[in-house]
Amino acid sequence: MSTSPLTVTPPTSRPGTVIGADLEKQQQAISTPGSFSDEKKVLANDGASIPAAASADEEYPTGLKFALINVACAFFIFLVAIDQTIVSTAIPVVTNRFNAFQDVGWYGSAYLLTSTVFQPFFGRLYADFSVKWVYLASFLIFEVGSLICALADSSPMFIVGRAIAGLGLAGGYSGSLIIVTLIAPLEVRPLLTSGMGAVYGVGGTIGPLIGGAFTSKVSWRWCFWLNLCFIPPVALMIMLCLRLPNRKHEHTPLQRLLRIDWLGTALALCSIICILLVFQWGGITYAWSDSRIIGLIVGFVVIGAAFWVDQVIMG
């Protein structure tokens, strides 16, 4: 019996299929010399042209400009970290000033609430709009929140100021990490991002010490005037030194704004507020069996379920 030799036929890509089209694009990109250096951009899934991180000849800022951008990002992270813990030693004085012991939990929670919930919100803004100007807008929001806290004459006004400052933290912290990855080569980025994390840790550690010094020696309001003094020069360094490639978008600004998950952000915010009110009022202001507490618990569960449906099922 004669046997024929075994032959293997390589798969051929069919132009009419999605896989075939993808293979053709990949082969064309590999076979075309200098295609990355000529383009220097890749097309993101959302239709925006972003700088290609893999470009071998990508231009990054160097020297003094590179140093100033990193110092500005690190110093902003340092300030928001201080602001997160600086009120811990000032809370007794602030509580006595406003005669609002029942609100003491909100002085820290309001800041962390907005800084957590709005992280995805700012992530979408950074993806669809100018990184530089979204970052500077975070500076402005943080400044407005600090100013409201410094001028507050009531507990609700102080809480609103803390919430607005936390919103600035949400945009500023993620923006700092994004910027240091855009201005440095791949091999340097781990060092820069870990350095930012260390700066955040140091700021959060010394925050109570600074707050205690201001509260006992000057005034608790200086815990927030501090931010108003240092943010402007930091913003100026970013404005003068940071230059990022312009991105082209297929969508109009209005369409990009509509792409933001407004519903998911609102649901997450309302759900967390419900559970915070439960722990603030339960067993203190109202009995645990009170209809208000039960209603808040039900609201937390229902709104949380709606958030899950919006994120997982609706996408």
The structure's pTM equals: 0.76
Residue 244 CA to residue 136 CA, distance in Å, equals 14
Q: What is the torsional sign of CA 174, 177, 180, 181?
A: negative
pLDDT at 305: 93
Fold of 63-252: Growth Hormone; Chain: A; (1.20.1250)
As a whole number of angstroms, the distance between CA 199 and CA 202 comes to 5
Q: Which amino acid is at 10?
A: P
Q: Label residues 264-296 b or e (16+ Cβ within 10 Å = b).
A: bbebbbbbbbbbbbbebbbeeebeeeeeebeeb
Per-residue pLDDT at 100 exceeds 80: yes
What pLDDT was estimated at residue 253?
Answer: 78
- Tokens at 247, concatenated: 């991105």
**pLDDT > 70 fraction of the chain, expressed in percent and rounded:** 81
Sign of the CA dihedral with 247 first, then 250, 252, and 255 last: negative
Q: Which of 57-71, 143-157, 185-199, 254-268 has the lowest mean pLDDT?
A: 57-71
Do 139 and 76 contact (CB within 8 A), yes or no? yes
Q: Which among 60, 192, 79, 72 is positioned nearest to 135, based on CA atoms?
A: 72
Torsion of CA 219, 225, 226, 229, to 10 degrees: -140
Sequence-ordered list of residues with C-beta below 8 angstroms from that of 224, at least 6 positions apart, any chain: 83, 146, 147, 149, 150, 161
**CB atoms closer than 10 angstroms to residue 159:** 21
Mean pLDDT (whole number) for 230-245: 90
Would you state the torsion angle of the CA atoms of residues 149, 150, 154, 155, taken in this order, to the nearest 10 degrees?
Answer: 40
Mean predicted lDDT score pLDDT of the chain: 81
Residue that the structure tokens 């609706």 belong to: 314
pLDDT in tens, 26-74: 444 444 444 333 433 433 444 444 444 444 446 777 888 889 999 999 9
What local confidence, expressed as pLDDT, does residue 150 receive?
94
Average pLDDT over residues 193-215: 93
